[in-house]
């Protein structure tokens, strides 16, 4: 199984800095799928939709950043798991409510599965309720 950790890191950086599908597409299969058991994302089925959601999130949190804690290759299972902490303050217009000025620091994990050297599926593991409460969105 072909997995390019350098390409996976480029995808991660593009996604987490709000580059949207345009910035993430080169590292993914055209029909890459997405899943998450987190309320705001539960109905999302494509990686394109998720990267666009992240682009929107970064626009309502202009100070958005991440601290990458772990980036691990599992060549036997054909995936890379990235654990990070997302930080941001809701000061930008948009989002579910007017700007709250509140900040979140939220742990999450991406598990990226590969095919032909590109991401074919990504699962996000995230406690959305915690972040939504910190931001004053719930």
- pLDDT for 29-57, tens place per residue? 999 999 999 999 999 999 999 999 999 99
Query: Average pLDDT of 107-127?
Result: 96
Neighbours of 78 (CB within 10 A): 15
Contact residues for 17 (Cβ-Cβ < 8 A; gap 6+): 23, 58, 64
Q: Is residue 95 predicted with pLDDT exceeding 90? A: no
Which pLDDT does position 96 carry in this prediction?
86
Report pTM. Answer: 0.95
Neighbours of 60 (CB within 10 A): 20
Tell me the longest C-alpha to C-alpha distance in the chain.
46
Query: Average pLDDT of 115-135?
Result: 95
Which pLDDT does position 52 carry in this prediction?
98
Which pLDDT does position 39 carry in this prediction?
94
87 DSSP β-pair partners: 65, 105
DSSP assignment, residue 108?
Answer: E
Residue that has been written with the tokens 């593991």 in this structure: 125
**d(C-alpha 104, C-alpha 11), whole Å:** 23
Which pLDDT does position 94 carry in this prediction?
82
Q: Could you tell me which CATH number the domain at 5-135 has?
A: 3.10.450.50
Query: Average pLDDT of 111-123?
Result: 95
Which pLDDT does position 80 carry in this prediction?
97
Question: In the structure, what pLDDT confidence band is assigned to residue 77 with cuts at 50, 70 and 90?
Answer: very high
Q: Is residue 1 predicted with pLDDT exceeding 70? A: no
Nearest to 137 by CA among 57, 55, 45, 46: 57
Spans of all domains in the chain: 5-135
Given a contact cutoff of 8 angstroms between Cβ atoms, the answer to whether 110 and 119 are in contact is no
- For 112, the 3-state DSSP assignment is strand
Which pLDDT does position 51 carry in this prediction?
98
Q: Is residue 71 predicted with pLDDT exceeding 80? A: yes
Q: Strand 103-115's sheet: what is its strand order?
A: 28-36, 118-126, 103-115, 79-89, 65-74
């Amino acid at each position: 199984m072909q997995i390019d950790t350098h390409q996976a890191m480029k995808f991660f950086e593009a996604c987490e800095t709000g580059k949207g599908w345009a910035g993430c597409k080169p590292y993914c299969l055209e029909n890459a799928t997405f899943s998450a058991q987190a309320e705001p994302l539960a109905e999302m089925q494509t990686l394109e939709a998720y990267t666009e959601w992240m682009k929107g999130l970064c626009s309502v949190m202009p100070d958005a950043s991440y601290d990458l804690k772990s980036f691990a290759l599992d060549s036997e299972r054909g995936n890379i798991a990235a654990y990070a902490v997302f930080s941001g303050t809701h000061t930008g217009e948009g989002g579910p409510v007017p700007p709250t000025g509140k900040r979140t620091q939220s742990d999450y994990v991406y598990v990226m599965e590969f095919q032909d050297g590109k991401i074919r599926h990504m699962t996000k593991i995230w406690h959305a309720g915690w972040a939504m409460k910190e931001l004053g969105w719930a």
